[in-house]
Amino acid sequence: MSILVPEKAIREAREKLREVMMQYVSGVDPSESDARKERRRYAEENEETEGVIMNMALAATVSAEEARKASEGQTSAERIPALARLGASPDQEPTPEADPARISVKKRLGRPPLN
pLDDT of residue 85: 77
Render 37-86 in DSSP notation, one character per residue: HHHHHHHHHTTHHHHHHHHHHHHHHHHHHHHHHHHHH--TTTSPPHHHHH
Tell me the pTM. 0.55
Asked whether residue 54 is domain-assigned, the answer is: yes
How far is Cα 17 from Cα 26, in angstroms, rounded to an integer? 14
> Residue 87 has what DSSP assignment?
-
User: What pLDDT shows up at residue 95?
Assistant: 59
107 part of a folded domain: no
Domain that holds residue 25: 7-86
* Structure confidence at residue 15 (pLDDT): 95
In a domain, 99, yes or no: no
The pLDDT tens digits of the residues spanning 53-108 come to 999 999 999 998 888 887 776 655 577 777 777 877 666 665 555 566 777 777 77
CA-based max dimension of the chain: 97
47 occurs within a structural domain = yes
State the total domains in the chain.
1
Asked if residue 44 is part of any domain, the answer here is yes
Inside any domain, residue 17: yes
Q: What is the pLDDT of residue 90?
A: 66
Would you say residue 108 lies in a domain?
Answer: no
Q: Are 25 and 80 in contact (CB under 8 A)?
A: no
Query: Which of the 8 DSSP states describes residue 4?
Result: P
Contact partners, residue 62, CB within 8 Å, separation at least 6:
3
For residue 96, being part of any structural domain is answered with: no
Tell me what pLDDT residue 45 has. 92
